[in-house]
Amino acid sequence: MDETVQVAVHLDEGDAARMRMALNNIANLCAHYAQAGQAVAVELVANGPGLALLRADLSPLPEKVAELAADGVRFSACANTLRGITRDEGAAPALLPAAQIVPSGVVRLIELQRAGWAYLRP
């Protein structure tokens, strides 16, 4: 398998232990493929309570996110979830610099799978 390994990671729970596990999973798989000389693309898609990972005010692991982003991991925040938060809190939350916004987290996960990406749900 010479082509790039593509992996979508779904995070929709808000507890710090699960967020830490998701980021550890990503760090481990990146290390594995780097050692194997195999190109890899990884995107974490955060929606629902999982979006807190990418909030500047709430993320329990901002340095780890920045570090993985520097290694090329993409972090996608669901715009539907952001709209709900904005409605509830009266203002849009600030996101970590690494976060990109996607229109719908679940649609993103569907489209990545349709494009051949593996799916992990830690």
CB 55: neighbour CB atoms within 10 A?
Answer: 18
Q: Which stretch binds its own copies (CB under 8 A): 22-30, 53-61, 69-77, 86-94?
A: 22-30
Q: Using the rule CB under 8 A, is 39 a contact of its own copies?
A: no
Q: Which window, 51-59, 60-68, 88-96, 109-117, contacts its own copies (CB under 8 A)?
A: 109-117
Per the CB < 8 A criterion, the answer to whether 45 and 9 are in contact is yes
Chain residues 43-82 in contact with its own copies, contact rule CB under 8 A = 47-48, 80
What CA–CA distance (Å, rounded) separates 71 from 20? 17
Nearest alpha carbon to residue 22 among 50, 41, 49: 50
Nearest to 83, CA basis, from 59, 104, 107, 54: 104
Contact segment (CB under 8 A) with its own copies among 23-31, 53-61, 67-75, 91-99 equals: 23-31
CB atoms within 10 A of CB 49: 15
CB nearer to its own copies: pick between 5 and 69: 5
Task: State the residue for tokens 């649609």.
Answer: 107
Confirm or reject binding of residue 87 to its own copies (CB under 8 A). no
Q: Which residues bind its own copies (CB under 8 A)?
A: 1, 5, 7, 10, 12, 21, 24-25, 28-29, 32-33, 47-48, 80, 103-104, 106-107, 109-110, 113-114, 118-122
